[in-house]
Structure 1
Amino acid sequence: MDQHTLGSLTWLRLMRFGNQSNQLSNDFLKRFQITTAQFDVLMQISTFQPLTQSELAEKVIVTQGGMSRMLARLEQDGYITRKQDWKTKTIVLSNKGKDILDIAMPAQLAFQTSFFNEALTEEETKTLYTLLTKIHKNSENKQLPPL
């Protein structure tokens, strides 16, 4: 098998795993009444709060319109609070948001970790992490090829 074919098959396998993992995570997180995207947004807010909507949008894979709708829903559900300090509007977790993350985060991390721990040795997991990090760093500066 040539390098081009192997690279294409590897990319497809990564895409399939990512999609499958997201679907399983959505199913898993339903018990906490949140989606994978909401979990990601809550985790980012928890880590970097207070932050603006624009700062948050840079950290997650949600469109600006999708972000506005999601934040409105998270605020309505009581997971976040929006504050305004003069012209700057920021987002922070509410106590309810902190409480759901305290429960959902360890459970979600254990669930996701099980994909690796049940299939790979510790050394294989380290190697996979190193390789994926290398690919990710290469993709950060990747330019689109001309048509």
Structure 2
Amino acid sequence: MDLDVLATPGHLISLAARGFARLSEARLKPLGFGVGQLPVLVALQDGRASTQRDLARFAKIEQPPMAQMLARMERDGLIQRAPDPTDGRSSRITLTEVAEARLPDAVAALLRGNHEALRDFTDEEAGLLIALLTRLIANLDRLVSVEASPGTPISEKGD
């Protein structure tokens, strides 16, 4: 079967992701946030992470880009750093009062955008889409970790 590469799930999901990113960026910018900062903001608010290493792991990005993002967020008054009392080499990162005050509006704007994007979907369809995307992401994470493993034979990489 000859499949049009522009009709593949990977391409279509990429287009949807870019559309969501543009919409989210437009709605977050007036609040002083960027769409890439959202995982950091949520992790700090919920207490899921408080160090640069934990935030990078949570957001699934490498340490250098996380360090750059945190530097910009600190410059913009969204986060603050304090020495980690248990590890003198590390800093604890927390949201500033400004970020905490704006975050509920940002989350509401993003949820509203998701709701609007799924306007013609039934609740069941929206739930199924979320479940399928969650499984797809888990599969991709597994594939990427296998591909990144040094010394993994090609036959184990899914080729």
Alignment TM-score, normalising by the size of structure 1:
0.83
Q: CA RMSD in A?
A: 2.4
Contact 2:82 2:93 in 1 (8 A): yes
Task: Specify whether residues 141 and 50 from structure 1 end up closer, same or farther in structure 2 by C-alpha distance, changes over 3 A only.
Answer: closer
1: CA distance, partners of 2:141 / 2:64: 24
2: CA distance, partners of 1:96 / 1:30: 15
2: CA distance, partners of 1:76 / 1:112: 29
What is aligned with 2:32? 33
One-letter code aligned to 1:94: T
2: CA distance, partners of 1:22 / 1:50: 23
Q: Percent identity?
A: 25
2: CA distance, partners of 1:82 / 1:106: 27
The C-alpha deviation readout for 1:23-54, integer Å capped at 9, x for no partner, is 22111211112210123321221122551100
Q: Structure 2: which 5+ runs fail to align?
A: 148-156
2: CA distance, partners of 1:21 / 1:107: 12
Q: Structure 1: which 5+ runs fail to align?
A: none
Alignment TM-score, normalising by the size of structure 2:
0.78
Task: State the number of aligned residues.
Answer: 144
What is aligned with 1:132? 133
Deviation at 1:101, TM superposition (A): 0.4
Over 6 Å off, 4+ runs: none
What is aligned with 2:47? 48
